[in-house]
Structure 1
Amino acid sequence: MSIKSFLSRQGQLIKPTELESLLSAKQRLAAVDASWYMPNNPRNGFKEFLTQGRLIRNARYLDVDEVKDPDSPYSHMLPSVEVFNQHAKRLGLPKDDPIIVYDNAGNFSAPRVAWMLEIFGNKNTLLLDNYVEYKAQGFPIDTAEIKEPVVEANVASFVSSALDKSRVILFEELKTIVEDPAQAARDYVIFDARPNGRFTGRDPEPRPGLSSGHVPTAISVPFPTVLDAASNNQFLSAAALREVFDKALGGKPLGDRQVIVMCGSGVTACVIERAVRIAGLTDKPVRVYDGSWT
């Protein structure tokens, strides 16, 4: 299969065997390690990138705690086009080569980074589904310990000209929607990717001082429910995902309603965003509430 066929696939996924075939054929690729962990997790994505190996030798590391709006008090608000381009240039994100995005947890933070590259206009982004399974199948990785990422010289950097606002929803608009429950129920579906205990308010949020609960009319779809634990958290099939969403919707057809997704800080919401696209649930853009519950 060609790169174009993967890019036109619902959800823009590439499977381990497909990626290995491309690498074996010497297909020119770039890779972005998007590994990130919750504040209460002692793992460190960048340290793992330096010491535990990478997908390919010239992989970059993109930290979602850095590539964000530096002036926002919230964890992962999208940066401006100018700030994004500064990071894209620093990382050497290529203009023309396919970019494979992955993480060490198996579809946890990589969907967020792939989504971010897409909405800033990169048309060559593919999400590896996933790196944990890729390694489990014994495919080669670069295991040399390094002190800093290797960035290729003389590669034209990707430059964003605009952010696709149709795939994002801001606080003011979401607030207006949920303040009118009738309109919210008629025109929108809001999926919340956090664990159900945090959604219901039974369990605390991992960030100190933040109460748990959910916005009015939201529906709980914890992000692990769209992943297959038996296959290292690869996405479920399109048919199985449609069953997950059908159950969440109580059997009521989505119809013409627009899907909004949120989570704790805008990371795992993108797991649900990707799952909705894989399932082919809607032809409308899925909108991520970037501020999420935070």
Structure 2
Amino acid sequence: MPKFLKILFASFLMIFSFFLVQACKDKNEKEALKAKGEKATFYIDETIMPMMEEQVSVFQSQRDVTINLVPKAETEILKMAQNEESGLMVMSRVLSDSEQRAFTNKKIVPKITQIAIDGIALIVNTKANDTVIDLQNIIDFMQGKTVANIKGLVFDNPNSSTINHMKKLASVKDVDNKNVFALKTSNEVIKYISENDGYIGVIGVNWMTQPMPDMQKFTSSVRVLGVKNVKSKPNSDVYYKPSQVNLSEGLYPLVRKIYMLNYEGNFGLGTSFVTFVAGATGQKIILKSGLGPVRLELREVKVRDNITTEKK
């Protein structure tokens, strides 16, 4: 190619690139102005609230919008969905056909996005001798059987996803064991276990991987148990803790998927937030939170048995 043609071609590429970048910039600015001041409310399964709060913090730092997070127990979110009180949800399950009928009747097609891999943590007081437990023992206790070394199971909320998950696992509709009970929040469970030996707390693992600062005095007195799968081979002594790798590879027996459910029926702020959480930045936040990201390479992050604030 003659030299002048090369120069002409290079000049054309520079001009084209300039206008392409400018067009993208103008588009982004228009979208930002369009979204400015918008608000959206998501109803969040309380068990993953710490991670979602960090997602909102970063998202709002980049945009002049407001995302409201309302923590609710799973059963409460389901009722709100059936009554069309909620179109934006973050849960450890998707809606059944009957649960989403109100939206289906309006021809609203849901946008369902898996964003993370979560787990249910079993926690005990640090005074407990055991550091591991067979999941079958938890199932037996849920079914009303007597199990040595377990005084009681303590859940975060009577309507939470954790108790729903465990009831399904134990094949029980209602729990007759008086020593299986629920408090109101995950923090209350952590506090209770830190003060009572012999009980096992059942909470979302996110509350141990990202404990609130004011909870450190209680989390330092609890330990996360390793759990043996009921499907393990006889006489197997393999126990797994809910680390990121064990969650993502399905080795931890109390694993579950986290979904963002969008029943808005349009491409509003809710859709933008879901896209953010499912994107590179949002997935890095999930990685940092200790849960299993869906679209990023994993690193081994162990769940803290306890937290120490002592300086080395």
For the criterion TM > 0.5, the same-fold answer is: no
Alignment TM class, shorter chain as reference: under 0.3
Output the TM-score relative to the length of structure 1.
Answer: 0.28
**Max radius of gyration: which structure?**
2
Output the TM-score relative to the length of structure 2.
Answer: 0.27
- The structure that is strand-richer by fraction is 2
Q: Which has the higher contact order (CA 8 A, sep 6+)?
A: 2
